[in-house]
Amino acid sequence: MTPTPSRKMVVAYSVRAGAPQHEVQTNKALARWLAHILGLNFGGSYDPEKHRGRDLYWLPTQTLVGARQAQALGIKSADDLWGGFVEHDFICTKAISHGLRSHLAYAPQGWAPLFSERVRDVVLDGLTVFALEDARPAAEHLLYSGPIRLKPIHACAGRGQEVINSLDAFDEVLARTEAARLFRDGVVLEQDLSKVFTHSVGQSFIGGKVLSYCGDQYLTKDAHGEDVYGGSNLLVVQGGYAELLALELPDEVRLAIEQAQIFDRAADEAYPDFYASRRNYDIAQGLDSSGKPRSGVLEQSWRMGGASSAELAALQSFVNDPQMPAIRVSTVETYSDRTLPADAIEIYRGPAENSDFLLKYVTVKPYDG
């Protein structure tokens, strides 16, 4: 008798050594939920001994970087994970949103100038810096047009950013003891907008389904009073961007979707070894220093992110009702304890990296057209 092949197993994978508990536990909760939706086994957190020889589907906490890491895990394409793969670390950060000040500026190995050429019209004014000596010329160039925002490329949830209003203020940044390390790691200098509204646009390719969505995200105060990511509200459809754009959408939302598509295509073109089954983009719309409306892609997320639980909630709804064309889903991240809404699904409750408490949950509402 021919043995029955074992089913593919979904595993959570914490990429960062020593990752905070909320990231590890959120990863496990989403992987368990994903396995349930797809009718697959859940294997818990990845264990090289326990999972040796198994047919795995991965949910990493971060974008995988480098062929060696992907090969060690047996990941060969976007079909093997819900997330993404890049050859070099900077590719999965906000660094690629902007070009360098000149061809003389330092560029890391693998840097593709083609990307910034392709996205120039769908991002805000800005420059990326990878060396202390390149920082002041870049800032001087941008400050002619108004205040700029300094954004370390590896920071997330809005942390570590600051607004620079003058060259003198920027010189104070350069005088800090950690300045050389800061710029060596990579910094984006980008025009600062007022009255900002941030759109989320993206796609997920899971279990033979394509989900496309648009929505918005909002900020909340963490335990230290800093403005950080607080959640997303998404409108999700079964199908591609054509199905999403077939809905009645405001012009500013359509613009955000079109800009995200250009950014997404540029990544495939400029970095041909890149692949991802989760492709999420943040698009900021607001006013520049002269009061002119601006819209531009801020960064990409080719990994588990704040809106991932909303995407799984939508996937669950579409699996339950294959004829459902669209649905509204929302995620909430709050640093204050509260009673969950009656229809909420709790994702995480416990300590956070920067505070004693963090609560994450998701809600689902019908799309009324």
**In the Cβ-directed half-sphere of 336, how many Cα atoms lie within 13 Å?**
5
pLDDT of residue 158: 59
- Lowest-pLDDT range of 132-146, 154-168, 179-193, 204-218: 154-168
Confidence class of residue 157 from pLDDT cuts 50, 70 and 90? Answer: low
pLDDT of residue 7: 73
Across the range 289-317, mean pLDDT stands at: 97
Task: Indicate whether 5 pLDDT > 60.
Answer: no
CATH assignment, 93-192: 3.30.1490.20
Q: Please report how the helices 167-174 and 132-143 are oriented relative to each other, as an axis angle in degrees rounded to 10.
A: 170
Question: pLDDT tens for residues 63-89?
Answer: 999 999 999 999 999 999 999 999 999
- Cα–Cα distance between 7 and 44 in angstroms, integer? 15
Task: Indicate whether 320 pLDDT > 70.
Answer: yes
Q: What values do phi and psi take at 121, rounded to 5?
A: -90, 0
- Which two three-digit tokens encode residue 52? 């040796």
Is 162 within 8 Å of 123 (Cβ atoms)? no
**In the Cβ-directed half-sphere of 195, how many Cα atoms lie within 13 Å?**
9
- Which two three-digit tokens encode residue 117? 């050429």
Q: Letter for the amino acid at 20?
A: P
Q: Right CATH number for 195-366 from 3.30.470, 3.30.200, 2.60.40, 3.30.70?
A: 3.30.470
**Percent of the chain with pLDDT strictly greater than 90:** 88
pLDDT of residue 369: 72
Would you say the C-alpha torsion 97, 101, 106, 111 has a positive or negative sign?
positive
Nearest to 187, CA basis, from 101, 120, 267, 266:
101
Confidence class of residue 228 from pLDDT cuts 50, 70 and 90? Answer: confident
Across the range 201-229, mean pLDDT stands at: 92
Q: What is the pTM of this model?
A: 0.94
**Percent of the chain with pLDDT strictly greater than 70:** 98
- Helix and strand element counts for the chain (H, E): 9, 18
Task: Indicate whether 1 pLDDT > 50.
Answer: no
The set of residues, in sequence order, having a beta carbon less than 8 Å from that of 212 and lying 6+ positions away, is 202, 203, 236, 237, 239, 240, 241, 243, 244
pLDDT of residue 17: 84
